[in-house]
Amino acid sequence: EVKLVESGGAVVQPGGSLRLSCAASDFPFDAFAMHWVRQAPGKSLEWLSLIIWDGGSSYYADSVQGRFIISRDNSRNILYLQMNSLRPEDTGLYYCAKDTSRSSFYYIDVWGRGTTVIVSS
Amino acid sequence: IVLTQFPDFQSVTPKEKVTITCRASQSIGNNLHWYQKRPDQSPKLLIKYASQSISGVPSRFSGSGSGTDFTLSINNLEAEDAATYYCFQSSNLPLAFGGGTKVEIK
């Protein structure tokens, strides 16, 4: 069964940094683009970032551009999200998700269960 | 591209039909997908490319539309369909979700 397991969520102070990880299993991780999506409490889903299969291109939502960095380690089947300059509005449940495309963006077909980030002093 | 969903909330009785609309701020072809999110669960893909069915998803879920106006229909509503439904566009960057439609079962 295709599986995505996020980790790294924590309580962090405003202005702080955090790195989320997503361990992928039971599918060829290096054959697919990957996403990060979040959901703030009581809010809609928000797309954050996408990285293509080899890490050669990545894209970001305006809300995180310049603060978050998506990366991947295909040798270890892990997706990362480095989150810097965190703000209270970054609080939420962060999902790792798999695209059906290799080098573009089609649609998300698999989601992890999420990891919680709380930005608060 | 901004996706506007309506209604925000719908309360329906079992066996009724639910219709949810998603409107894009500009044409996105058929690059519109629908997800179901139950409380404390991860989102689940229901419909891809506006109208294409997904293996394992009950046939009472269907989608239609193209360009800027899209619809998700749920026929013969069941109790397990209580959830929030989101549209998602993959036509242009930045990718985007709609605001969601919460469906409550009376």
**Between chains, do B45 and A112 touch, taking CB under 8 Å as contact?**
no
The per-residue pLDDT for range B34-59, each reduced to its tens digit, is 999 999 999 999 999 999 999 999 99
Q: Which of B52, B95, B97, B102 to mutate to test the interface with A (most CBs of A within 10 A)?
A: B95
- Predicted confidence at residue A55, as pLDDT, reads 95
Chain B nearest C-alpha distance from A23 (Å): 16
Q: Which of A16, A37, A10 is nearest to A95 (CA)?
A: A37
Q: Is B85 on the interface with A (CB under 8 A)?
A: no
Contacts of residue A30, Cβ cutoff 8 Å, sequence gap at least 6: A53, A54, A74, A77
Q: Do B94 and A95 touch (CB under 8 A)?
A: no
pLDDT of residue B65: 98
pLDDT at B37: 98
* Stretch B20-25: mean pLDDT: 98
Contacts of A60 in chain B (CB under 8 A): 94
Beta-bridge mates of residue B66? B69
Token output for A61: 């939502």
> DSSP class of residue A75?
T
User: Given A106, A111, A114, which is nearest B90 (Cβ)?
Assistant: A106
Confidence class for position B86, pLDDT limits 50, 70, 90:
very high
Give one DSSP letter per residue of chain B, joined into a string: --EEEE-SEEEE-TT--EEEEEEESS--TT-EEEEEE-TTS--EEEEETTTEE-TTS-TTEEEEEETTEEEEEE-S--GGG-EEEEEEE-SSSSPEE---EEEEE-
CB–CB contact B95 A113 (8 Å)? no
Q: What is the pLDDT of residues A40-83, one digit of tens each?
A: 999 999 999 999 999 999 999 999 999 999 999 999 999 999 99
The pLDDT score that the predictor gives to residue B53 is 97
Chain B: nearest CA to A69, how far in angstroms?
15
Residue A78: is it exposed, middle or buried by C-beta count within 10 angstroms (0-12/13-18/19+)?
A: middle
Residue partners of B73: CB distance under 8 A and separation at least 6: B17, B18, B19, B20, B61, B62, B63, B64
